[in-house]
């Protein structure tokens, strides 16, 4: 007699954790970027990432193996190890220094960014689901103007985020020892609210009267993306892979809400008098996007160090991405439309020992690490006087396996040293970004998916 497959208690806990995370992100997803240009469109869309991908120059769709849950390429879910459920939590922080011809400003933003889970459901199939960021808005700018007798302070702030709740599936069409080819897809539900607010406050000793205008964009939409990869082993020590991801045109629907208030005490919301409150349907479309990736793995000659033998591996990554433009169907919001933009990424990864789990007992601390370096350059969808912003960055990172119970768990850190600017030189941002991603998996002694057979 055979007993059917079932989830044991740890898996139930993960589902409960996912539901709790969805509620947490829905309630607390506020300013998770400090980019003034996030005023435009749907906010900052290029800050998404992972500790591994950030360290490799923002390569993403072409980075995958049994230890990485890559939700940027849904075809890769079937590459996960059988019985090893992976889930990922990421934390991101960015410190930015802004400057133009007259002023300088510093801003920092830490945040919890994503929760994703994936597992292999058969030899050829994989599944993943979770919550990840789609776009974010966050900025704060103040200006004080002297009117002759009094001063007026103008405050411009933005906050909010659009979250992506997704479910993904992959299927291996070719599963041979040296050749593998798979396709996959993610189906997503996008939701969230983006807010732009401006206020003016009269600065006198007797009063703080002023007014507030708040514009809110409440978005809801369904979203899909399709991915594929092909890997080919060349002899015993060489292999390459080709990857691609396609995102069809995305139609966005929602509500645009405008509020206007006046108050004798601007800092006390209960004292506000409503001047205007309006709500209307809003729709926009995000054009199709395509991404292409390449990777090459070379198992270097093994060598002995004292009483142990090491098996080093070197991997090269390169990718090109073309992201679609954003446009509204009615001319309701000023500065909403965005241009298409592109990114080129290059990365290198070195492992002194790629058979870490098998040889953990003999390895020195630095031999357990994975070392990463990369470079990228891209245009951005924002424009100033018709000129697009540009960004470039140098990245470094490392991966540390968490092998207390012999599992695929790891801690991955990616650092980005970058610069954003406009070719005419009127504005520049220099930033340091740090992203920490924790990949958790059960140990080899805990199988979360079991098939039992009774004699």
User: Sorting pLDDT into bands at 50, 70 and 90, what band is 21?
Assistant: very low
Q: What is the pLDDT of residue 247?
A: 96
Please compute the mean of the pLDDT values over residues 131-152 and round it to a whole number. 79
Nearest CA-CA partner of 43 in 169, 196, 172, 177: 196
Structure tokens at 311: 């098996």
Q: What is the pLDDT of residue 242?
A: 98
Q: What is the pLDDT of residue 162?
A: 92
Q: What is the pLDDT of residue 167?
A: 97
The CATH number of 2-453 is 2.40.160
Of these ranges, 1-15, 104-118, 152-166, the one predicted with the greatest mean pLDDT is 152-166
Nearest CA-CA partner of 229 in 174, 188, 177: 174
Please compute the mean of the pLDDT values over residues 326-346 and round it to a whole number. 91
Q: What is the pLDDT of residue 360?
A: 73
Largest CA-CA distance found in the chain, in angstroms, rounded: 93
| Structure-derived torsion over alpha carbons of residues 414, 59, 439, 418, reported in degrees to the nearest 10 | 20
Nearest CA-CA partner of 124 in 206, 180, 51: 180
Structure tokens at 13: 């806990």
Per-residue pLDDT of 201-253, as tens digits, reads 877 766 678 889 999 999 999 999 999 999 999 999 999 999 999 999 999 99
Q: What is the pLDDT of residue 367?
A: 87
Please compute the mean of the pLDDT values over residues 299-323 and round it to a whole number. 90
CA dihedral sign, ordered 264, 265, 270, 275: positive
Q: Which of these ranges, 63-67, 91-95, 181-185, 402-406, has the smallest mean pLDDT?
A: 402-406
Compute CA 91 distance to the chain's CA centroid, rounded to the nearest angstrom.
10
Contact present, 294 and 249 (Cβ < 8 Å)? no
Q: What is the pLDDT of residue 207?
A: 66
Per-residue pLDDT of 24-63, as tens digits, reads 444 333 444 556 778 888 888 866 789 999 999 999 999 9
Show me where the domains of the chain are located: 2-453
Place of tokens 């509500």: 255
Burial class (CB in 10 A: 0-12, 13-18, 19+), 243: buried
Q: How many CB atoms lie within 10 A of CB 27?
A: 8
Q: How many CB atoms lie within 10 A of CB 364?
A: 13
Per-residue pLDDT of 342-394, as tens digits, reads 999 999 999 998 888 777 777 888 888 999 999 999 999 888 777 888 999 99
Average confidence score pLDDT of the chain: 84
Residue 361, SS3 per DSSP: helix
Residue 335 backbone zone (phi > 0: left; psi -120 to 50: alpha; other: beta): left
Element (H, E) at 14: helix 9-28
Q: What is the pLDDT of residue 147?
A: 65
Task: Kindly give, in sequence order, each residue whose CB lies less than 8 Å from that of residue 12, ignoring residues fewer than 6 positions away.
Answer: none
Please compute the mean of the pLDDT values over residues 11-23 and round it to a whole number. 45
Name the β-bridge partners of 443.
Answer: 407
Burial class (CB in 10 A: 0-12, 13-18, 19+), 295: buried
User: Sorting pLDDT into bands at 50, 70 and 90, what band is 170?
Assistant: very high
Q: What is the pLDDT of residue 27?
A: 38
Please compute the mean of the pLDDT values over residues 78-87 and round it to a whole number. 83
19 or 35: which carries more pLDDT confidence?
Answer: 35
Task: Kindly give, in sequence order, each residue whose CB lies less than 8 Å from that of residue 26, ignoring residues fewer than 6 positions away.
Answer: 163, 191
Helix extents (H) in 374-440: none
Q: How many CB atoms lie within 10 A of CB 236?
A: 7
Q: How many CB atoms lie within 10 A of CB 234?
A: 12
Q: What is the pLDDT of residue 452?
A: 47
Q: What is the pLDDT of residue 269?
A: 72
Residue 271, SS3 per DSSP: helix
Q: What is the pLDDT of residue 151?
A: 76
- pLDDT beyond 70 at 148: no
Name the β-bridge partners of 221.
Answer: 190
Contact present, 130 and 116 (Cβ < 8 Å)? yes
Residue 233, SS3 per DSSP: strand
16 or 100: which carries more pLDDT confidence?
Answer: 100
Q: What is the pLDDT of residue 406?
A: 53
Structure tokens at 96: 């930015």
Whole-number Å distance between alpha carbons of 416 and 431: 8
Q: Which backbone phi and psi does 213 adopt, to 5 degrees?
A: -120, 125
Element (H, E) at 52: helix 51-55
Task: Kindly give, in sequence order, each residue whose CB lies less than 8 Å from that of residue 343, ignoring residues fewer than 6 positions away.
Answer: 46, 58, 319, 320, 321, 323, 376, 377, 378, 379
Nearest CA-CA partner of 213 in 203, 200, 194: 200
Q: Which backbone phi and psi does 49 adopt, to 5 degrees?
A: 180, -165
Contact present, 155 and 211 (Cβ < 8 Å)? no
Q: What is the pLDDT of residue 39?
A: 83
Per-residue pLDDT of 421-450, as tens digits, reads 888 777 788 999 999 999 988 765 455 444
User: Sorting pLDDT into bands at 50, 70 and 90, what band is 72?
Assistant: very high
- pLDDT beyond 70 at 181: yes
């Amino acid at each position: 007699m055979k007993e059917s497959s079932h989830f044991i208690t740890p898996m139930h806990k993960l589902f409960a954790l996912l539901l709790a995370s969805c509620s947490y992100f829905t309630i607390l997803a506020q300013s998770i970027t400090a980019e003034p240009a996030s005023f435009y469109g749907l906010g900052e869309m290029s800050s998404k990432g992972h500790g591994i991908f950030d360290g490799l120059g923002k390569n993403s769709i072409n980075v995958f193996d049994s230890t990485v849950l890559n939700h940027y390429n849904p075809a890769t879910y079937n590459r996960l190890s059988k019985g090893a459920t992976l889930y990922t939590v990421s934390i991101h922080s960015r410190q930015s220094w802004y400057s133009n011809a007259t002023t300088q400003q510093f801003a920092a933003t830490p945040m919890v960014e994503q929760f994703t889970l994936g597992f292999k459901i058969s030899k050829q199939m994989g599944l993943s689901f979770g919550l990840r960021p789609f776009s974010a808005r966050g900025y704060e700018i103040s200006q004080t103007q002297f009117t002759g007798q009094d001063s007026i302070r103008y405050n411009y702030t933005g906050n909010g985020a659009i979250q992506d709740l997704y479910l993904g599936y992959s299927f291996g069409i070719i599963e041979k020892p040296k050749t593998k080819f798979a396709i996959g897809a993610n189906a997503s539900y996008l939701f969230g609210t983006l807010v732009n607010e401006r206020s003016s406050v009269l600065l006198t000793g007797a009063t703080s009267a002023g007014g507030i205008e708040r514009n809110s964009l409440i978005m809801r939409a369904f979203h899909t993306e399709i991915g594929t990869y092909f890997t080919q082993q060349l002899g015993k020590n060489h292999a390459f892979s080709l990857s691609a991801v396609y995102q069809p045109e995305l139609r966005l629907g929602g509500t645009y809400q405008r509020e206007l208030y006046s108050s004798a005490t601007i800092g006390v919301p209960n004292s506000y008098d409503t001047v205007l409150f309006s709500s209307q349907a809003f729709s926009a479309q995000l054009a199709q996007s395509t991404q292409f990736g390449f990777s090459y793995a070379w198992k270097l000659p093994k060598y002995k160090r004292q009483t142990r033998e090491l098996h080093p591996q070197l991997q090269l990554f390169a990718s090109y991405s073309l992201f679609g433009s954003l446009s509204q169907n009615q001319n309701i919001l000023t500065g909403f439309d965005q241009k298409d933009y592109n990114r080129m990424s290059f990365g290198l990864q070195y492992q002194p020992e790629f058979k870490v789990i098998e040889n953990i007992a003999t390895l020195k601390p630095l031999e357990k690490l994975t070392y990463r370096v990369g470079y990228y350059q891209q245009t951005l969808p924002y424009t100033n006087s018709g000129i697009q912003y540009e960004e470039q960055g140098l990245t470094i990172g490392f991966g540390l396996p968490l092998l207390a119970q012999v599992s695929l768990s790891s801690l991955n850190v990616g650092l980005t040293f970058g610069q954003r600017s406009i070719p005419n030189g009127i504005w520049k941002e220099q930033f340091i970004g740090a992203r920490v991603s924790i990949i958790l998996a059960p140990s080899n002694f805990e199988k979360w998916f079991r098939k039992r057979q009774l004699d």
